[in-house]
Chain A
Amino acid sequence: MPKDGGIGASSKRREDIRFLSGTGQYTDDINLHGQAYAYFLRSDVAHGKINGIDTSAAEGMPGVLRVFTAKDFDGVGGIPCGWQITSIDGQPMQEPKHPILAEGKVRHVGDPIAVVVAESLAQARDAAEAIMPDIEDLPAVMDMKAAVQEGAPKVHDDLTSNLCYDWGFVEDNREAVDQAIKDAAHVTTLELVNNRMVANPMEPRVAVGDYAAHSGESTLYTTSQNPHVIRLLMGAFVLGIPEHKLRVVAPDVGGGFGTKIFHYAEEAFCTFAAKQLRRPVKWTSSRSEAFMSDAHGRDHVTKIELALDADNNFTALRTETYANMGAYLSTFAPSVPTWLHGTLMAGNYKTPLIYVNVKAVFTNTVPVDAYRGAGRPEATFQLERVVDKAARELGVDPIALRRQNFITEFPYATPVAVEYDTGDYHATMDKVLEVSDHAGFEARAAESKKNGKLRGYGIAHYIEACGIAPSNLVGQLGARAGLYESATVRVNATGGIVVMTGSHSHGQGHETTFAQVISEMIGIDADQVEIVHGDTARTPMGMGTYGSRSIAVGGSAMVRAAEKIINKAKKIAAHLMEASEGDIELKDGAFTVAGTDKSVAWGDVTLAAYVPHNYPLEDIEPGLEETAFYDPANFTYPSGGYACEVEVDEETGRVEVMGFTAADDFGNVINPMIVEGQVHGGLAQGIGQALWENCAYDEDGQLISASYMDYAMPRSTDLPMFKVDHSCVTPCTHNPLGVKGCGEAGAIGSPPAVINAVIDALHRGGYDVPHINMPASPDRVWAAMQGAKANMGAAQPAARSTDTAEGRSV
């Protein structure tokens, strides 16, 4: 019988009451007395030299308080990058300055040139139109492969080239991999594009800066997934404000998907301007602005080669990837195509030799950084596509080929530097085949054929690394931060509990799940537990939420703090009951002495802690509040089997998703309903990438998919009822809850399942199409059926001037 509380219960999300009743407190709901409004004038061109900016007319416009340009930021630092990658030749990556406002050049459409702060937003916007920037067009750097050629125009004139880094991993394996590929019985090669994505959280970014002259304290309210990280980066590196004089609040945040991890210029600007003007300054992104200022995701061009022996065992894997960084390095951009991608190239398979090469390239586009899955979707897509292609080339069943090469013994050390602690890939494969009714597929395909449709079944099996991460490891890998998590558990005198977590909830439901864990541990009702997050003044230094790390790392910190609480409370209870501490048990909110009927309630112990009249003051301090920092020993490794069934309309190339099944192993699950919801959301985004979503630029660097007229988001009617299973459980071995994380899996496993299904459908219809790049829009599928090659021409898949319709989602 399902539980109705605690770990494993599908408790309803308590935060939804305020979200669904319009009483949430989002950043844009914050309006401070005397607030002024900022409007950013952004570049219309992808690349240009700034000869001058005439702000005189704008300064005289009604309501204008001040117009800012780059020259107003003397002594202010650039936006820092949080991860340094070292190239094959031992050199650190090239790291250009990222100013708050464009200095000397504009480098992408949307690059901020000037900001007007005025009494009203309308006045600020009107005045921005009166600013006259004199910008001389320069040729836009768009195609990654062309950008790294000798003599290509440079995005940053002070760098030696547009190559940010050239990374080889594991360099010691390179020769052995080359040899194994030479010696292979069969090599399958695939070149593909992982299309550029725009994250599109429902809530656009917002920043409100405030300065308290009486205390000298600055406060930033912002739409962030990690307020402490913003405080550290902005305070220490950009504005030079000590952390004790800077508070960052990320209240209710309406979705992040990675793009709200990073520190953005607008945050630093509002904080800076508020102090300059002695007025609160607010900026709210419009949706159009979000398209050209939120960090984008993906945008890799990859060649992957899989070597097999005569018995179809994988013997080696070699990849070469061009990863688009955009015009500047966003906060964690360098880590995404490297450590979050290269370390996952083993997938679920015991391939003994792997070599990954990644060239990160600057282009005149919006910066690219982590987007739901961040590196792992790119790794999974190429691997699961090349395995499928190999099966087709060898005439073997793609499921059998996967099973034959599955890792079955754990822990398993991959040749790409990570060690999987647990997993059972055959179990999730069995489960996905069962739940998706693989056995009944041929009958359904025959039925589709009767209706004139080609039906295809695609399978993908993924591994991902969550719970980032052991700080000493990521430090060696170039991270300029630790990746622990923190929690303070404060027990009030009357027994209620406040958990102040360094994790941040922006849709994940922490207020519900974290309370369930505490409720389970102590045996009190979840209503007695308050979860506080998102405010540096109220929570201990925490690293925030991304990489499916909250329950695995933040939850573990909370468990550790709660364990300290329980240990201390047991001492108090032992004193109250005049028993030995070792005999005290806590169950259902009461302390008992083993083997007796003595009992004292949770609330009596907590009261004693704050009213210590009868209390072991000689042994322990009064009060009941504990903090724990948890630094994980390893990543966690969720895995799963995904099956997609599609119908392709032979006449139009339109793909319809007929069924989608996800069988995940997330380890232990706290709230199955929330996990299911997370998987649903991930699947929608992954299927969206596979079939509809595409961020497109033209060859001049104009962003031509910058509204929902041209950027096709998945809609509920586009998607089937998902079948989601997480009954396969191999608990994580190194965190106290045995949890692995579930936030990104859906977006990681689904794109290859969809494309594999489309390719399967086409082959069943007699179309020998080896690959279709995402999004598999009707025109691409139809063109592929007519014998067209996959669109491999440009690094920017859609940057093809001669064909503006192709490469665009429909």
Chain B
Amino acid sequence: MELSGHRIIDAPREEVWAALLNPDVLKECVPGCQEMAGNPEDGFDATVVQKVGPVKATFKGKVHLNDMNAPESLTLEGEGKGGAAGFAKGGAKCVLTEEDGKTRLDYDVEAKVGGKLAQLGSRIIDGFAKKMADQFFEDFKAQVEGPGTESEPEMAGGEGGEPAKKKGWFGRGSAE
């Protein structure tokens, strides 16, 4: 499945860029992340515990940062193996633009699952991936902005919230 959206982050672009490369920030933002270590050049080793429908598993895997064009764009790519649960992999292409002193983060996320996750969870995987992505970017925004700047989730662009849900329900074909 593929989905896209954006967040407006109240921070300078360089700061947002640095946060994207910071394993400690990523650890706080990846839902269910237990461990995240490494560096942007070699990638990060991650351990994530997640439950997808009936399948709960510990995913161990790597996160790589590719296509890095500081401080404008990069692609986060990760693959986690969950043992008997199968695997999940995905990528997020992130583009940062300066906007009224803030930073606009546009993202295109692609997620795939295999093995038992696909066999048992494919019916719910689209919704799950969307939830994961929303939570990641929401937490990322909060992490970068720091405490006390909580704001309502951005709904711009028709992605996220009710309109997107409707679209997902009726016309998954158009999600591509």
Contacts and interface: CB of A to CB of B under 8 A. Distances in A.
Interface of A: 44-45, 109, 125, 128-129, 288, 291-292, 698, 700, 702-704, 706-707, 709-710, 801-806, 808
A802 B172 contact: yes
A802 B175 CA distance: 7
B16 interface: no
B108 interface: no
A292 B119 CA distance: 9
B84 A129 contact: yes
A238 B119 CA distance: 31
Given A129-B84, A702-B114, A707-B120, 5 more contacts: A128-B84, A288-B116, A803-B172, A804-B122, A804-B123
Given A129-B83, A129-B84, A804-B126, A704 B118 contact: yes
Contact of A700 (B86, B114, B116, B119): B114
What are the 7 closest A-B residue pairs judged by CB atoms, nearest first? A706-B119, A44-B115, A702-B118, A704-B122, A129-B83, A802-B173, A44-B114
B118 A802 contact: no
A125 B84 CA distance: 9
Interface in B13-65: none
Interface of B: 1, 83-84, 86-87, 112-116, 118-120, 122-123, 126, 172-176
A44 B123 CA distance: 18
| Dominant secondary structure of chain B at its interface with chain A | helix
Most A C-beta atoms less than 10 A away, residue of B116, B118, B119, B173: B119
| Dominant secondary structure of chain A at its interface with chain B | loop
A804 B172 CA distance: 7
Nearest to A702: B118
B51 to A, nearest CB: 16
Most A C-beta atoms less than 10 A away, residue of B118, B120, B172: B118
Nearest to B87: A44
Nearest to A697: B118
Contacts of B123: 704, 709-710, 804, 808
A140 B86 CA distance: 17
B116 A710 contact: no
A291 B115 CA distance: 12
Most B C-beta atoms less than 10 A away, residue of A125, A801, A808: A801
Contacts of B115: 44-45, 109, 702
A254 B123 CA distance: 30
A710 B176 contact: no
Given A710-B123, A801-B176, A804-B172, A703 B84 contact: no
A128 B174 CA distance: 40
Given A44-B86, A44-B115, A109-B115, A698 B173 contact: no
A805 B84 contact: no
A805 B125 CA distance: 12
A572 B137 CA distance: 93
Contacts of A805: 172
B126 A703 contact: no
Contact of B118 (A125, A128, A698): A698
Given A109-B114, A804-B126, A804-B172, A707 B83 contact: no
A709 B175 contact: no
Contacts of A45: 87, 114-115
A704 B115 CA distance: 9
A706 B120 contact: yes
A215 B166 CA distance: 69
A326 B176 CA distance: 28
Given A700-B112, A700-B114, A288 B119 contact: yes
18 contacts: A44-B87, A44-B114, A44-B115, A45-B114, A109-B119, A128-B84, A292-B119, A698-B122, A702-B113, A703-B119, A704-B118, A706-B119, A707-B120, A710-B123, A802-B172, A802-B175, A803-B173, A805-B172
Contacts of B83: 129
Nearest to A41: B84
Given A802-B173, A802-B175, A804-B172, A710 B84 contact: no
Contacts of B118: 109, 698, 702-704, 706
A15 B118 CA distance: 40
A700 B123 CA distance: 16
B166 to A, nearest CB: 14
B119 A707 contact: yes
A794 to B, nearest CB: 13
Contacts of B173: 802-803, 806
A801 B173 CA distance: 8
Nearest to B125: A804
B42 to A, nearest CB: 19
Contacts of B113: 702
Most B C-beta atoms less than 10 A away, residue of A44, A125, A291: A44
A706 B113 CA distance: 14
Contacts of A804: 1, 122-123, 126, 172
Contacts of A803: 172-173
Contacts of A707: 119-120
A802 B114 contact: no
Contacts of A702: 113-115, 118-119, 122
Contacts of B116: 44, 288
Given A801-B176, A804-B172, A704 B112 contact: no
Nearest to B176: A802
A797 B13 CA distance: 46
A704 B84 contact: no
A177 to B, nearest CB: 39
Contacts of A808: 123
A235 to B, nearest CB: 33
A806 B174 CA distance: 13
B148 to A, nearest CB: 41
A708 to B, nearest CB: 10
B67 to A, nearest CB: 20
Most A C-beta atoms less than 10 A away, residue of B87, B173, B175: B173
Contacts of A703: 118-119
A291 B119 contact: yes
Contacts of A288: 116, 119-120
Contacts of B176: 801-802
A152 to B, nearest CB: 21
Nearest to B124: A709
Nearest to A125: B84
Contacts of A704: 118-119, 122-123
A50 to B, nearest CB: 15
A41 B126 CA distance: 27
Contacts of A109: 114-115, 118-119
A808 B172 CA distance: 13
Contacts of B84: 125, 128-129
Contacts of A710: 122-123
A703 B123 CA distance: 12
Nearest to A808: B123
Nearest to A704: B122
B172 A709 contact: no
A801 B1 CA distance: 8
B47 to A, nearest CB: 15
Contacts of A706: 118-120
Contacts of B114: 44-45, 109, 700, 702
A627 to B, nearest CB: 47
B126 A709 contact: no
Nearest to B115: A44
A45 B113 CA distance: 10
A138 to B, nearest CB: 13
A409 B52 CA distance: 62
